[in-house]
Structure 1
Amino acid sequence: MTTNKTLGVVGLGSMGYGAAVSALKRGVPTWGLDTRAEARERFVADGGRSTASLAELGANCDVVVVLVVNAAQTEDVLFGEGGLAATLKPGSVIVTSATVDPTLPPLWEARLAERGLWLIDGPVSGGAKKAAEGQMTVMASGKPEAFAAAGALLDAIAGKVYRLGDKAGVGSTVKMVNQHLAGVHIAAACEGMALGMRAGADPDQLYEVICNSAGMSWMFQNRVPHILAGDYTPLSAVNIFIKDLGIVLDAARKLQFPLPLAAQAHQLYLATAAAGHGGEDDSAVIKFYAQLAGLELPKAAA
């Protein structure tokens, strides 16, 4: 990809690191920012430029993707001391990618416009693997001028970029629905596997059959192997879905819209965290069922 624009990525976690490296592989000059020195050093070793300073990142980048954990961190990156609102050149573009309440991006858009900056409300999906392959999905909304100013840099980090509207907030609305479904599907996958195991089904055979039957979901196919391997290393943690389904439920409450399935799934994640598994992979919801039913789950290989 030929471009005279420089990309910045704030947050070199599993998604952010993959996005930044994907951009590098596609020939985009890329800066990465992270509070962890080891993440910055790793990115430099892969050919990028790195900093711990938002001011330095802002001074060197035309488009910045903010891949942090939540709305509070996003607001600090945008408007905190030395934040991007004060350091980016007028005409630059900020892509906010955390899962947040859809009412927030329009407020950020208006505040950044006062500084001559564009906002794209661009949450992402696909997990660490697709991020590393440059194949994650971006659910983007914003003014046409924002997309024009970003050029092809969104395509440098994604396999699919959906343009969902000409104002911020639409992208986060679509991501909210995605997280609603993802959270419910993971909880259902864990419940179904626990049920089958309690009834005496072989878990490996159960997984294979369901993956080739109508009950299969992408989350079932993706998460159950973690259970079968006894590996709960957090690719996406239980605590993430406590946060994300909390956002979904709060938004639905404002709309006076009932979400009984999301509410029950949220309680399952809370129960799993209360049992001490909040920092583990979200497939650890099955441990809640195992504790209730006295199930012995597959063990990790030595």
Structure 2
Amino acid sequence: MNIAFIGLGSMGTPMARNLILAGFPLAGYDLNSNAVAAFAANGGKPAVTAQAAAAGADAVILMVVNAAQAEQALFDGGVLDALAPAGTVVLMATCPPGAVKTMAARVEKTGRSFLDAPVSGGVAGAEAATLSIMVGAPKAAFERMAPVLRALGDKLFHVGTEAGQGATVKVVNQLLCGVHIAVAAEGFALANKVGIDPKVILEILSGSAAASWMLKDRGPRMLQDDPAVTSTVDIFVKDLGLVLEAGREAKAALPLAAAAYQMFLATSGRGDGAIDDSQVIRSYDLLNRGQP
């Protein structure tokens, strides 16, 4: 199976490398020339445009930033027209379910298949090929692409037969992730307010019923003034925005997601959008102490 990979960012580059290591012929494209060079160094075939990467491919994987970029590549950038007539589009970016459904309908109208297949696991999961992949697609299309997807993640789920269902599972995941980070920051802020050592709080909570994966991962970084960036504040501004959009589409009330979104948005609005997402705690510090 000849595959085109569009979007060689911090996750796309290791994902593409894992496909190459698994033996799949891979052409790739990204707007960033350095990313394309890294892709070529990993054994991929670089292309000068997204359309050139997709020329005659059996499948194209889109690991772009958002739905707008996916639509631009597919419909304006010539990717869909360049794909083989019986080819498959695999959308792995985090996008609103409604936008995914619309995209899928346009792709399927041409006789090609569409997999709604967002991922979770971050850069570490992309590097180690341990991503969780949540697929909404007809069973036959899912089974055809399963060997490719298993080269990218060790947790592959067929969540439904319709495009948009994978995207919905992903936004639910991001809802919980964002709220868990925000509520952990809120808990630390309360402890700080009354003078309790946050290190003691972290140790207690990490071993109690209040523990969560996010607390154990982000909690230690919340206690640092300038932690290394593993996921930015702006990623959760984007993703919680998608959560709220999905809620509007489904007419589902999401008050906790809305509150968490406002805290990440406030942090970004002060110019801290590119710092580690654990630093949403700075917004709580400002609310409670009136200073950074």
Report the CA distance shift for 1:105/1:203 in structure 2 as closer, same or farther (over 3 A).
same
2:116 equivalent to 1:121: yes
1-side partners of 2:57 and 2:200: how far apart?
Answer: 51
2-side partners of 1:179 and 1:63: how far apart?
Answer: 27
**In structure 2, what is the equivalent of residue 53 of structure 1?**
49
Partner amino acid for 2:203?
E
Contact 1:92 1:149 in 2 (8 A): no
**In structure 2, what is the equivalent of residue 257 of structure 1?**
252
**In structure 2, what is the equivalent of residue 72 of structure 1?**
68
> How many residues of Structure 1 are paired with residues of Structure 2 in the alignment?
292
2:222 equivalent to 1:227: yes
3-state SS of paired residue (1:163): strand
The one of 197, 204, 207 aligned to 1:202: 197
2-side partners of 1:63 and 1:158: how far apart?
Answer: 18
The one of 143, 147, 170 aligned to 2:138: 143
Report the CA distance shift for 1:33/1:205 in structure 2 as closer, same or farther (over 3 A).
farther
Partner amino acid for 2:279?
A
3-state SS of paired residue (2:209): coil
The one of 119, 126, 133 aligned to 1:131: 126
2-side partners of 1:136 and 1:52: how far apart?
Answer: 28
**In structure 1, what is the equivalent of residue 14 of structure 2?**
18
2:269 equivalent to 1:274: yes
Worse-superposed segment, 115-124 or 231-240: 231-240
Worse-superposed segment, 258-267 or 128-137: 258-267
**In structure 1, what is the equivalent of residue 165 of structure 2?**
170
2:35 equivalent to 1:39: yes
Percent same amino acid at aligned positions? 40
How far is the alpha carbon of 1:292 from its aligned partner? 3.2
4+ residue stretches of structure 1 with deviation over 4 A?
294-297
Structure 1: unaligned runs, 5 residues or longer: 298-302
The TM-score with structure 2 as length reference comes to: 0.92
1-side partners of 2:52 and 2:243: how far apart?
Answer: 35
Contact 1:7 1:153 in 2 (8 A): no
Structure 2: unaligned runs, 5 residues or longer: none
2-side partners of 1:126 and 1:23: how far apart?
Answer: 17
2:202 equivalent to 1:191: no
Report the CA distance shift for 1:13/1:81 in structure 2 as closer, same or farther (over 3 A).
closer
2-side partners of 1:85 and 1:219: how far apart?
Answer: 38
Query: Deviations for 1:199-229, whole angstroms, at most 9, x for unmatched residues?
Result: 3333333323322211111111122233334
Contact 2:67 2:100 in 1 (8 A): no
2:99 equivalent to 1:104: yes
3-state SS of paired residue (1:95): strand
Query: Deviations for 1:74-130, whole angstroms, at most 9, x for unmatched residues?
Result: 111111132x21110112111112222212222222211222211000111011001
